[in-house]
A and B are shown apart, each in its own frame.
Chain A
């Protein structure tokens, strides 16, 4: 009996202490395969994303939205599809956009993203969108923009005086914007909530990475933000709403399968744990 138990106990112990690289390999494979062979799993829209879409959709052409974007090459994969979807929604409706990039590593990416989507809809710089660029210390910049955009940014990213841009005529601060949709992968999102919304009363929605999203449901239920787009799933929902499927919707297959595999790992880990414990008596 003991002789029969030994290999079995060894198996469960080995399974518990499996070389982590096997786990990495499995994750690598399940991430890679759906990219090659898409399944097209359906995406369900959540109310926090629907709220953002509805608020933007209710605006008339010519309204101004502020879309500050703070992501870098590391978080670009998660937030860029979200930025594309929201910019597409705005530019397709003739809504004007003011943007900033308060994370130094992402300035070039965000400038390129704005130019790319604006060109898709034939929108002109200075008339349909303005990019203010980067200034250090986001909290202070956000506070100053609450007074006047010209305080931290007398000139835009390209060196133009703000007063020389037709779109900025009569546009002073957040109160000139219908809302702020902050796409942010940093803790700087707290500054937008504390200063832009709480201090200056700007209606605010946020788009954050999936891991950050859980932290901001508290702000959603306290109405400090009116919408929350979380990670690639949120971006996929927005792509579905604007009827422009993109990278995020394709990535939903990958995310679904990867999550399922992690759940299987957890189940297997628990079976191994309890089996080895049972065997040990």
Chain B
């Protein structure tokens, strides 16, 4: 039976970004139902019962995150939408923002309602020009129809949504750097604790949720927690998921499937298989560039949070980067390392110094000037970055370095021993 898309149900329809198309597909019915039938805390319970886990990368249960807000309401609470999608290999939020903004917007209103927030912020990546324009228009449409603003749908609930463009720094996707940026400061991650739920935007309790997470909230409002909790691989991996497939596949793109679709099914059936018939699969990064790489032998895995942790990687942002046998792993890692060295905010020592060091060693290996011990050096330096930084950026570079160097150690050692690339990939030089 073909999978009936939920998150992508409008994508592909003409004018899918307009409120009319969205309303015709049953849009804003969930909101209507929730503001009428639910007290805010009841809807938090509903999201908890649905088992929704954050789609931004960490997979943290959304309802539980909301529950961390202090019970006292002496200060305003804020909802910040993390639309700073910048992880290499990830392009799902962008699709939702550009093609079905109201699905996201309805989720924002629902979530803000649930946490009793009256001012929400939509922090959108600076490079998303189309998305910015589309979403700005969506906000106007929603406001005109009474879904945003004062007394939403006659419920007495008020919500204002402020659209804010980032300036294009990867680090601003880290939730506390996002808050700093939103406050008009340099986007540097904060030390935690305190966590944003307690001390967040402008020192007030703040929830930061990913775009796709909020779109899922809309689904829960529409069809209920028990329906939602039955999707995917219950009890801990529920709901639909957007997978971004890129690399050496015939049809790269965003695919929707329930959590737990087999990785190989995603690659072979949804993305059309590998591009080159004579180049077998070599490796897959299952969750965006920050996650550990899986060799082809370990790709028989289900694409959900817990299965991928068991396989030694993580679902992350579900950016599935497929590499065939023509890929030089040293070059692939160097390319990644350059990105992370460029994007490291420079605040804390291990990340600031470590990222540059990785690039220099990998460049040397690529130049054919690798030395015995270089692979162990990479692994050791990665181990001194991992876990010692202010934010998860440290892991985001340490995990790829460690896993590429360990899994493909022979290939790295060959580069060092022969001073040349055994794969014959000369793109680097």
Pair from one complex: no
B residues contacting A by CB (< 8 A) are: none
A residues contacting B by CB (< 8 A) are: none
